[in-house]
C-alpha cells in the first residue's frame, strides 16, 4: 500500500509540468532584461565631440559597471533621420533585472565614487556635457521573452 502511494506521488510530481504546459491560462512569456534608452540631441557641430566622450569616458564607465555585474550590455545607436526636436542618438543599457535598482543609497554612492571619483567632479563633468548635448527623454522598459 505504501509503495503504491509513493509511486502515485512520484507520477503526479512528474506529470505536473505536463499539466501546466497544457494550461490555457499559463502566460506565453517570461520577464527578460530591463533596458534603459536615453534619447540624446547633440548640439550642431558637436556630434563628434560627444561621440569622443562616449568612446572614452562613457565606455569606461559602462565597462566598470558591467564588471560590477550591474549591467549586461550597452549600445550607442544613431537615429538615422530624426524629426524636428528629436534626438540623434540613443544610449541603450541592458540590466539583468529590476533587482539591481534595489540597492541602498550608500551602495549606490560607493559604486559611483569607485567609477567617477568625487561626486563634485562627476557633477561638474555632467554640467559641462550640457554644452554639447541635451537629454531629450529616458525610457525604461522590460523585455519579455515569448515562449
- Percent of the chain with pLDDT strictly greater than 70: 85
Reported as a single tens digit per residue, the pLDDT across 120-130 is 888 888 899 99
Is the residue at 43 inside a domain? yes
Is 19's pLDDT higher than 60? no
Is the residue at 18 inside a domain? no
Is 16's pLDDT higher than 90? no
Is the residue at 81 inside a domain? yes
| DSSP structural state of residue 147 | -
Taking the C-alpha atoms of residue 26 and residue 135, their distance in angstroms, rounded to an integer, is 40
Is the residue at 19 inside a domain? no
H-run or E-run covering 37: strand 29-42
Average pLDDT score over residue span 5-33 = 68
Choice between 147 and 19, residue whose per-residue pLDDT is larger: 147
Taking the C-alpha atoms of residue 85 and residue 8, their distance in angstroms, rounded to an integer, is 67
Average pLDDT score over residue span 21-39 = 91
Is the residue at 141 inside a domain? yes
Reported as a single tens digit per residue, the pLDDT across 76-102 is 999 999 999 999 999 999 999 999 999
Q: Which pTM was predicted?
A: 0.79
pLDDT at 6: 46
Which CATH number do you get for residue 122? 3.30.70.100
H-run or E-run covering 40: strand 29-42
- How many distinct structural domains can be found in the chain? 1
Choice between 109 and 88, residue whose per-residue pLDDT is larger: 88
Q: Domain span at residue 72?
A: 29-146
- Distance, CA of 25 to chain centre: 29
Packing angle, helices 105-116 and 59-67, rounded to 10: 130
Average pLDDT score over residue span 37-46 = 97
Amino acid at each position: 500500500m505504501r509503495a503504491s502511494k509513493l509511486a502515485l506521488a512520484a507520477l503526479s510530481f512528474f506529470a505536473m509540468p505536463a499539466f501546466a504546459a497544457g494550461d490555457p491560462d499559463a502566460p506565453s512569456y517570461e520577464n527578460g532584461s530591463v533596458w534603459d534608452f536615453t534619447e540624446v540631441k547633440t548640439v550642431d557641430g558637436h556630434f563628434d565631440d560627444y561621440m569622443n566622450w562616449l568612446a572614452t569616458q562613457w565606455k569606461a564607465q559602462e565597462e566598470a559597471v558591467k564588471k560590477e555585474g550591474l549591467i549586461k550590455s550597452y549600445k550607442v545607436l544613431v537615429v538615422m533621420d530624426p524629426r524636428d526636436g528629436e534626438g540623434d542618438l540613443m544610449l541603450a543599457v541592458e540590466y539583468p533585472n529590476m533587482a539591481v535598482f534595489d540597492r541602498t543609497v550608500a551602495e549606490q554612492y560607493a559604486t559611483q565614487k569607485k567609477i567617477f571619483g568625487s561626486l563634485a567632479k562627476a557633477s561638474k563633468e555632467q554640467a559641462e556635457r550640457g554644452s554639447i548635448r541635451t537629454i531629450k527623454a529616458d525610457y525604461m522598459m522590460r523585455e519579455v521573452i515569448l515562449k
